[in-house]
Amino acid sequence: ADEKRREQQCAMLGARIVLAAMAAEAAMAFNCMSPATAFRSLSRVHSHPAPRSARLGLLRMAGGSPMAAADEKRREGSADKFALLFDCDGVIVLTEELHRLAYNGAFQDYSAEINGQPVNWSVEYYDVLQNTVGGGKPKMKWHFNNNGWPTSKLGGVPSSEDDQNRLIDELQDKKTEIYKKIVNEVAEARPGVLSLMDEAIKTPGIAVGICSAATKAGFEQVVNSVVGTERLSKLDVVIAGDDVPRKKPDPIIYQLASERIGVPPSRCIVVEDSLVGLRAAKGAGMKCIITYTESTKDQDFYGEGADAVVADLSQVNLDTIFEPLMRGEDSLLEGIKEARK
């Protein structure tokens, strides 16, 4: 009996040592409480056993990184959580023509010419371009790589990669400067998008975010003007094109959003307006609602995996999006979405 008691005491001591080490490590990592306070908190948890998944999370902390364990716990805690992620350009506000005018203004300011002809993107050409390449700098690089690099006020045709990048950077800066002025004058939200965003923000269990391929300067101008700083402060995640190494259609921006908010991709709903954005969402393993624009309305969204296609969000609410998912169904916006063509 004495031997058994000693074994039990050793086991209890070992458990306390592990908990104390966890508390000290967590306190140092998070800088939020003293080791003693953390230990008392963990001891209270230990005296009231949690479900198996939560206990496993604590045990993982004993042998791994506190941050990794926190991420694991956050993911486990989000099993019943959903997310609604909005693209910006074309979804929150119709910006295609504003971007095109700003690019052409930058080309004109820099006297950009290819074979003696001014660089100018027509409406028809820009419709193709924006549905082929995501992000401003990649668009220009794609255009120049396929049509020739221009002369400009910086000099002749740039021959080195450094010179090409310098031209692209300066054109993008000028484009952003012009774009900001245009946005302040004419930009407004598309029907239904802000009311849907507000409804989601107010609903517990739904994370809300914006994920845009646009560069941060131009993106911030749009969201500050149209979405508003107060609404932005309530979002769970905001990611611009500068925050990721690759632009849409690469799925990394949505993968990063899923990681930051702790909601698995299968429970994330993306709202996009183009094939580029749709491919990014589906590549991340997420469902996608398309609110098409005049320039994208004839594209085969269903053929590339869209879960619903609508003209705008004026008839869409959280119930039509999430209730079917909560019932274990795959369909979205039944009775609202357009039929396959």
Which residues neighbour 79 within 8 Å (Cβ) at sequence distance 6 or greater? 264
Q: Which of 2, 80, 87, 242 is catalytic?
A: 87
Contact 167, 206 (CB under 8 A): no
Contact residues for 288 (Cβ-Cβ < 8 A; gap 6+): 269, 270, 271, 272, 277, 278, 281, 282, 305, 306, 307
DSSP state of 49: P
Say which of 2, 89, 242, 300 is annotated catalytic: 89
312 is catalytic: no
Cis before 249 (ω within 30): yes
Distances (CA, A) of 173 to 70, 89, 107, 157, 216: 39, 18, 11, 19, 11
DSSP 337: S
**272: enclosing H helix or E strand:** strand 268-272
Cβ neighbours for 297, distance < 8 A, ≥ 6 positions apart: none
What type of residue is 4? K
- Residue 238's DSSP bridge partners are 210
Does residue 259 sit in helix, strand or coil? Answer: helix
**Catalytic residue at 87?**
yes
Which residues are part of the catalytic machinery?
Answer: 87, 89
